[in-house]
Structure 1
C-alpha cells in the first residue's frame, strides 16, 4: 500500500467522519433523533462498556474507525482498479450497506433510537450514503 494512498485515506476518513458526526449531531439537536448518540455508542462492546468515556474520546473512536474504513476502501479500489466513475458509485453503496448492517446496534442500548424508528433509519442511511460520496471525492 502506497504512502499517498494511506494519506488520502486518513484525510478522507477525517473529513467524512467529521461531516457524519456533525450531520448526526445537528439532527439530534434539532429533531431529537438520537443518531449522534448511536454513532458514538459503544455500550455493547465488551471491555469498553465498563468505562464512561467523554464525548471527545468517543468521537475519537468514531474518527479512528472512519480512517480505517476509508484507507481500507481505497485499498480495495486500487487493488480492483476501480475507475473514478466506479468509485463514485461503489463507495456510497458500500457505505450505505455498512450503515444498514450497523443500524441494528441501536437495539443494544437504551440511549439510542428505537430499532423500529423509520425516520431514524432513513436519516442514518442518508448520512452513510453521503459519507461514501465524500470519501469518493478524495480518490
Structure 2
C-alpha cells in the first residue's frame, strides 16, 4: 500500500508538471494543446458534465494517477519498472496516439494542427521524464 501511495503522489506531481508545461506553452504560443488535458467531450456520461471545469481537472489527475500506477505494475511484470526509457517510450508514443481524439471536439485544436501535436507530445515527454525519475528515486 505504501508503494501505491508513492505512485499516487508521483501521478499528482507529474500531472502538475504536465499541465504546467502545456500552460506555459499556451501562454507563450497561444496554442490550445493545453485544453486537451481537460477535455471530456468524447467520454459518454462525463461529457454531459463538460460545463464543470472541475470535472476536467479531476479527469486529468485520475488519468495521471491511474496511468502511473498501471504502467509501473505492467513494467514491473516485465522487470523494467525502473527503466526511464520505458516510461518515455510508453507515455510519448501513447500521447501521440491519443492526439486524434482532438477531432472529437470543437473546443480542442484541429487534428491538422501540427504545432499542437508537437506541444502535446513534448509535454508528455516531460511528464514521462518526471514519472520515470520520481519512480527511480522514490519507489523501491
Provide TM-score, normalisation by structure 2.
0.88
- Cα distance in structure 2, aligned partners of 1:4 and 1:126: 31
Question: Does structure 2 retain, via aligned residues, the 8 Å contact 1:38–1:112?
Answer: yes
CA distance in 2, matches of 1:102, 1:72: 17
Aligned alpha-carbon RMSD (Å): 1.5
Which deviates more from structure 2 when the two are superposed, residues 95-104 or residues 29-38? 29-38
Matched length? 135
Q: CA deviation at 1:29?
A: 2.5
Unaligned runs of 5+ in 2: 136-140
1:94 aligns with 2:102: no
Which one of 102, 112, 125 corresponds to residue 121 of structure 2? 125
| 2:31–2:116 CA contact under 8 A, matched in 1 | yes
Between the aligned partners of 2:48 and 2:55, the Cα distance in structure 1 is 14
With normalisation by structure 1, the TM-score equals 0.89
Match for residue 22 of structure 1 among 20, 23, 41 = 20
Structure 1 residue runs of 5 or longer lacking an equivalent are: none
Stretches of 4+ aligned residues off by more than 3 angstroms: none
Return the alpha-carbon distance in structure 1 between the equivalents of residues 134 and 29 of structure 2.
31
Which of 68, 75, 78 is the equivalent residue of 1:77? 75
C-alpha contact (below 8 Å) 1:5/1:71 kept by paired residues = no
Residues in 2 aligned to 1:53 and 1:18: alpha-carbon distance in whole angstroms: 22
Structure 1 residue 83, shift from structure 2 partner? 6.2
